[in-house]
Copies of this chain bind each other. A is one copy, B any other.
Amino acid sequence: MDNETRTLFFAFFNEIGIIAQLSRTALEARLPKGLTLPHFSVVNHLIRVKNGQTPLALAKAFQVPKTTMTHTLNGLVEHGFVEIRPNPEDGRSKTVWLTETGRRFRDAAIKSIDPDIDAFRAQYPEDRIRDLVPSLSEIRALLDANRD
């Protein structure tokens, strides 16, 4: 393979990786101690997408192994942010439901993150982000499909 091509793709995925790392760190700095990006993401997902999802559905939504999701959900249960109930449609499965405490946690997190978004938006305009998302979404879907 052409070396410049390889360098280009490495540079691309490298930038992606560093942005992921920096944004994650920035977000976690706003969360109460002991809570991580996955904790916030799951709660946010339950609000924005659908409450009462199964653990496996959540694991797939975030592209993590199911054991990792089990661990994340245990943390959320310990904090009282979600409740786990049996799945009436499948005895092997469970469902995950937000609690009022979980909603308050999410609202507080949003409130403390908003200023950071504003600051970032002032330096990198919303419209430019809007232009990037479809490309990234397509790339994400391709990588996901290529995964065996």
Contacts and interface: CB of A to CB of B under 8 A. Distances in A.
Interface of A: 1, 5-26, 37, 41, 44, 48, 62-64, 110, 114, 117-121, 123-124, 126, 128-130, 132-133, 135-140, 142-144, 146-147
A123 to B, nearest CB: 5
Contact of A23 (B24, B41, B143): B143
Nearest to A24: B17
A6 B129 contact: no
Contacts of A18: 62-63, 140, 144
The 8 closest A-B pairs by CB, nearest first: A20-B20, A15-B136, A22-B143, A1-B114, A17-B20, A13-B23, A12-B129, A9-B117
Nearest to A5: B126
A114 B6 contact: yes
Secondary structure type dominating chain A contacts? helix
A15 B144 CA distance: 12
Given A6-B114, A12-B133, A124-B139, 18 more contacts: A1-B114, A5-B121, A6-B117, A8-B130, A16-B23, A16-B136, A17-B23, A17-B37, A18-B63, A19-B20, A19-B136, A19-B143, A21-B64, A23-B143, A26-B147, A120-B143, A124-B138, A132-B135
